[in-house]
Chains A and B, each alone.
Chain A
């Protein structure tokens, strides 16, 4: 049995799966950064210009924090799916190798 060849195929299948998902994760992180920079700036400008009270400011920031938590957990789903796909791709390679044997 050629273990080197089997493992090379296995790791290259897993690596390819990760390669496909990595840009999506990077894009989501960039989106979170830009989206919240703009949002916090907007809320703060409303406070500075007297359109909202300090109490309202605090409440809006709290609600926005929940949104940030939701945005970060989307990254979590993307990572889990990438790991799931990579492992399953590896299993697929092993399954084919065993069938050959």
Chain B
């Protein structure tokens, strides 16, 4: 009974100090919109890539798109960093950025992009974006 009273006292203190338990950040619609926007940009990037013949898939042709998408992923990472209790979403967007930069660097170094590699890369990137969206939905 003594333990029960102590527990009740502890919870009462929490209530009096308005200390709501918060382990994850609140759901953010702007973040979901940004994720969908990036997903569309990645989709368009790979649709354009596939349309080109192997010899025409040189880096310069896609350099501007790489930059645009990188800027958007960086903005998403910043949006996630601005929110407290959001470590899992931050790590997810950093992983997405790491994969994107790695893909860009490989394309730049070889000045080509095999369609079989691109097919897998797009699936991985879209899956990572899906996970970012799922994380937001889980916070609702």
- Interface residues, chain A, with chain B CB atoms under 8 Å away: 3, 6-7, 24, 28, 35, 39, 42-43, 46, 51-52, 56, 59-60, 63-64, 66-67, 69-71, 73-74, 76-78, 80-81, 83-84, 87-88, 90-91, 94-95, 98
Whether the Cβ atoms of B139 and A42 lie closer than 8 Å is no
Query: With A3-B8, A35-B127, A63-B102 known to touch, is A69 a contact of B95 (CB < 8 Å)?
Result: yes
Whether the Cβ atoms of B88 and A77 lie closer than 8 Å is yes
| B111 within 8 Å of A (CB atoms) | no
Whether the Cβ atoms of A52 and B117 lie closer than 8 Å is yes
**Interface SS of chain A: helix, strand, loop or mixed?**
helix
Residue total for B at the interface (Cβ-Cβ under 8 A): 39
Most buried by B among A46, A64, A70, A84: A70
Bound form: Cα–Cα A94–B21 in Å: 14
Q: How many A-B residue pairs have CB under 8 A?
A: 107
Chain B, range 72-90, C-beta contacts under 8 Å to A: 88-89
Closest to A4 in B: B4
Chain B, range 1-28, C-beta contacts under 8 Å to A: 1, 4-5, 8, 11-12, 14-15, 20-24
Whether the Cβ atoms of B92 and A73 lie closer than 8 Å is yes
Q: List 11 A-B contacts (CB under 8 A).
A: A59-B102, A63-B121, A66-B124, A70-B91, A70-B92, A70-B127, A73-B131, A73-B135, A81-B139, A94-B15, A95-B15
B123: chain A residues within 8 A (beta carbon): 39
How many Å from the CB of A93 to the closest CB on chain B?
A: 10
